[in-house]
Amino acid sequence: MSIEKLDLKNINTVYFIGIGGIGMSALARFFNQTGAKVFGYDKVETTLTKKLVEEGLKIHYKDNPDLIPESIDLVIYTPAIPSDHLEKNWFITRGVKLYKRAEILGLISRSYKTIAVAGTHGKTTTATLTTQILRASGIECTAFLGGISNDIKGNYILGDSKWLVVEADEFDRSFLQLFPSIAIVLSMDADHLDIYGEHDILKETFQKFVDQVEKGGSVIAREDLSLKSSGFQLLKFGNKMARAKFKNVRVENGEFVFDYVFDKIELNNISLAIAGRHNIENATAALTAGILVGADPEIMKLALGRFKGIYRRFEIIFKQGNIAYIDDYAHHPTELRAAITAARELYPRKYLTGIFQPHLFSRTRDFLEGFVEELGKLDKVYLLDIYPAREQPIPGITSKIISEKIGKEKAKLVSKPELLEIIKDWNGDVLMTLGAGNIDQLVEPIKNILKDK
């Protein structure tokens, strides 16, 4: 059945292959909350899948077609599932149509006025900020988020307004399934070159995405991005010549503070509860989207100050005396620069130790010099082995190369058990775990060690 002919109102039973992913689990929650029976497979049990089971979803962890229930109306899979997956092939051999997550999200979005947040960095934070400030202003938007919001305690929330907030993911060109009323474009840095091949092709695809914004809609884009308007309002944000501008950025009482100007609207002394100048950019884009939708500027200002943050987005895990421990999802040189710079500004003149797990062999190869440059700004860095995710190893591409290029005075390659022993004797000021793989499994053990010190 083609996506155009799929009627979600007649879907009673849904099966997810790879239900534990952050995007897949948000979709699973949507179907569960709208009355469908939801089943799924994932490779391992996690905190997130346990939460889904508590919410009434049925999940198993063995790739076994015998565990698939009868009478499935809709099957959704993640591209991360390998081609030899037994359950996936069981459906294929029986002629069952399998849909990607992006296709179903695109179909859902057609029933709403959609705010789609795009960019190679900052999507999750900006989408979550947008959701939070809209809902604080009384606009009860529905939202699909790429991280766990500490305010809504999840990655999905069902609203009762015409507005939907989603992340427009460039991976696998997924965002071309969306036709938003408002698009936010935060960045178009080179990434996912295993998909696009060249940076220019990625940028061309971003242009295709914004060309899908409805006529009369708006694109809110960072001021240095080269995008052309085609039937929509192109509205730039930034701190130079942009129409929506942030200015007077400073750190006061351990928080970032800034002013915001958009046409005749001026908000002064906005306190942002999450750190970093990159997050001020994200907040500026979110505020601008909120104004276009009709949210109250003063209420949005208050909501930014109360924002509780997102799991693994510059999340302060532990703070006591002179010690601070921060966990961040940064897995691209630009993201590392943002996180490390934020830590430097928040904790000036402190000794900064980082633990980094590279994500993907191809990304490590493509941005090797960028990783060396940004990680070299730490006072000390411990490197874990590359997290492969969907990839097979690439000969000669290892974490050891990064370590050697930074130099043994600053960098050291370690295993996870070795790292925990090192932390027991660590006497630094600020510690950061960085990366998008399974480094998050170390967060709780590290926190416990620091608490016991």
Q: What is the pLDDT of residues 206-220, one digit of tens each?
A: 999 999 999 999 999
Q: What is the pLDDT of residues 167-195, one digit of tens each?
A: 998 888 889 999 999 999 999 987 777 77
Assigned domain for 213 exists: yes
Q: What is the pLDDT of residues 346-367, one digit of tens each?
A: 999 999 999 999 999 999 999 9
Assigned domain for 106 exists: no
pLDDT the model gives residue 4: 66
280 in the same domain as 165 = yes
**Above 60 in pLDDT, residue 316?**
yes
pLDDT the model gives residue 219: 98
382 in the same domain as 339 = yes
User: Is residue 145 helix, strand or coil?
Assistant: strand
Q: What is the pLDDT of residues 86-100, one digit of tens each?
A: 999 999 999 999 999
Q: What is the pLDDT of residues 390-413, one digit of tens each?
A: 789 999 999 999 999 999 999 999
List the beta bridge partners of residue 327.
315, 433
pLDDT the model gives residue 253: 85
Confidence of residue 1 (pLDDT cuts 50, 70, 90): low
Q: Determine which helix (DSSP H) or strand (DSSP E) holds 270, and give its type and residue range.
A: strand 265-272
Assigned domain for 419 exists: yes
In the chain, pLDDT over 70 holds for what percent of residues? 99
Q: What is the pLDDT of residues 221-259, one digit of tens each?
A: 999 999 999 889 999 999 998 999 999 999 998 889 999
45 in the same domain as 185 = no
Contact 298, 277 (CB under 8 A): no
Q: What is the pLDDT of residues 426-441, one digit of tens each?
A: 988 999 999 998 999 9
Assigned domain for 118 exists: yes
Domain of residue 404 covers 315-452
Assigned domain for 218 exists: yes
Number of domains, the chain:
3
350 in the same domain as 396 = yes
Assigned domain for 83 exists: yes
Assigned domain for 423 exists: yes
Q: In whole angstroms, how large is the CA radius of gyration of the chain?
A: 22
Cβ density class 151-167: b for 16+ within 10 Å, e for less: bbebbbbebeeebbbbb
pTM value is 0.86
pLDDT the model gives residue 322: 84
Domain CATH number, residue 76 = 3.40.50.720
Token pair 């944000």 in the structure block, residue:
237
Assigned domain for 185 exists: yes
Domain CATH number, residue 292 = 3.40.1190.10
Q: What CA–CA distances, in Å, run from 314 to 59, 273, 327, 365, 416?
A: 31, 11, 6, 25, 21
Q: Determine which helix (DSSP H) or strand (DSSP E) holds 339, and give its type and residue range.
A: helix 333-346
255 in the same domain as 392 = no
For residue 453 the two structure tokens come to 């010190």
